[in-house]
Amino acid sequence: MRWLEITVTTAPPAVEAIANILLECRSGGVAEEAAPSGHVKLRGYLPVGPATPVTLSAIEARVRGLSRFGLDAGPATVESQEIEDEGWAHAWKIHFRPFAVGRLWITPTWDHTAPPNGSVVIELDPGMAFGSGLHPSTQMCLMLSSRRLQGGETVFDVGTGSGILAIAAAKLGAARVLARDNDPVAVEVARHNVAYNRVADRVTVEEGDLLRGVEAQAHLIMANLIADVHLDFLPQARPRLRPGGSLAASGVIEDRVHEVEAVARGAGFTVMDTMRSGEWRCVVLGAPG
């Protein structure tokens, strides 16, 4: 199968908007890396087919149009090239190397570098799904999980992507983890990664729209989403969080934090903390006991 690799070079203020454009076009995931002069490169992958030229034109037009909304997109260049399946795998191998997040050691399955002593190891092949662990919004969720989980908890991972947050929660001692995504490709990738990490007895991966239809409650909810989705999600999530529990609303660009906090308070959450990494924020919310 052939894929169209789309690379958008932009300025940090437009990263969230462009990532959303790529995800809405069913790119299957977005990879982010630093570029010269403080810019950011975002990469998405589309299967090549009859509609590909139309989709690419739509992406280019939407990226060019961001300035109308007052967003500084910097160069706002859109480049594309066709690659084979093997090219996709090679692209991930170039950018994905083992790294530590606190006591977690995230490593691709093809790398056999010895982890530091005492590490909790997660072996991961991101595939066509967001979530290699390289993005700051993912790393903030991983750090929060490492701090909050003591063992025996129920955890929800909303927008699971590759399944990295769900796998980390299980390996950090959670007794039950529900991982959800509305993208069937992400669900397939996450199930593979969960099985590979031998935590399928505690992690259930399912296709679903946020937490709609879920009746249980969690001690910790991790939602690595964009700000616009959080605004719809948080009122829905409040009844699903146990009293005294925590929710990590990550993936929020700095300029949107006040909106997310306002909606969270209106839904009955308390704002406990705001984690920061570059222009990205993770708003930590609590449910009053």
Question: pLDDT (tens digit, 9 = 90+) per residue, 191-217?
Answer: 999 999 999 999 999 999 999 999 999
Residues 148 and 132 in one domain: yes
Residue 1: per-residue pLDDT: 65
Contacts of 251 (CB under 8 A, 6+ apart): 16, 137, 223, 224, 225, 226, 227, 230, 280, 282
Same domain, 121 and 86: no
Give the separation between CA 46 and CA 139, rounded to whole angstroms: 26
Q: What is the CATH number of the domain that holds 38?
A: 3.30.70.260
- Residue 288 has what pLDDT? 86
* pLDDT, greater one: 234 or 279: 234
The residue out of 69, 93, 117 marking a domain boundary is 93
Q: Is the pLDDT of residue 128 over 60?
A: no
State what percent of residues in the chain have pLDDT above 70: 92
Domain boundary among 60, 93, 126: 93
pLDDT band at 89 (very low <50, low <70, confident <90, very high): low
Looking at residue 77, its pLDDT comes to 93
State pTM to two decimals: 0.77
Rounded to the nearest 10°, the torsion over CA 170, 27, 91, 32 is: -70
Q: Does 19 share its domain with 110?
A: no
Same domain, 251 and 125: yes
- One domain for residues 234 and 156: yes
pLDDT of 28 > 60? The answer is no
Res 30 pLDDT > 80: no
Q: Are residues 64 and 144 in the same domain?
A: no
If asked whether residues 79 and 132 sit together in one domain, one would say no
Give the chain's domain count: 2
Residue numbers of the domain that contains 67: 2-93
Task: Phi first, then psi: give them for residue 190, nearest 5 degrees.
Answer: -65, -40
End-to-end CA distance of the chain, in Å? 52
Cβ within 8 Å of residue 184, ≥6 positions away: 207
Q: Determine the pLDDT at residue 97.
A: 78
Helix 15-24 / helix 52-64 crossing angle, nearest 10 deg: 160
Between 88-92, 194-198, 236-240, 265-269, the lowest mean confidence (pLDDT) is in 88-92
What is the mean predicted confidence (pLDDT) over 112-121? 93
Residue 116 and residue 246 in one domain: yes
Do 26 and 84 fall within a single domain? yes
Closest CA to 164 of 214, 208, 115, 199: 199
Which pLDDT value is given to residue 161? Answer: 86
Give the dihedral of Cα atoms 128, 131, 137, 142; nearest 10 deg: 170
pLDDT tens for residues 245-278?
A: 999 999 898 889 999 999 999 999 999 999 998 7
Domain limit, last residue, from 93, 114, 139: 93
Average pLDDT, the chain: 88
